[in-house]
Structure 1
Amino acid sequence: MYRYLRSRFGVVVGVVISGLIFGIGHAPELMLNATVTGCLFAIFYEKRGTLWMPIILHGLMNALLIIIFFFSAP
């Protein structure tokens, strides 16, 4: 989706809109954080030209959150 948006509207608008779409796909309490990270993922994709970096970062972030919640649970 980002590639289409970038080709149609440019890098900045593509990053912002794809980040917003990524954020909307998450729970309401996580939407702002997911929007920002979605923008970062699009920037990493733009710089690297491959989805591997955003995929790895997303997996690491999810794993870190799972570990934090696991060890903070009573």
Structure 2
Amino acid sequence: MDINNSIVYQKADQFAIRVVKAYKYLAEEKKEYVLSKELLRSGTSIQLSVISNRLIVYISTTKLNQFLAFYLE
């Protein structure tokens, strides 16, 4: 499964883009720096978690396949 076709990835990506836009608005227009930085940090961590989890699953599956190929040959 391609990660870019995952609905969860697409939703997290769209959310991260909206968070960055909200951060820019709060920081530039409203001069709210503390809240905007926390919003940016927590809002974009969702996308990072999705990517990290997909990477862990991919690596685990690849290692398992290599292990099985080595011992079953």
TM-score normalised by structure 1 residue count: 0.37
| Greater relative contact order (CA < 8 Å, ≥ 6 in sequence) | 2
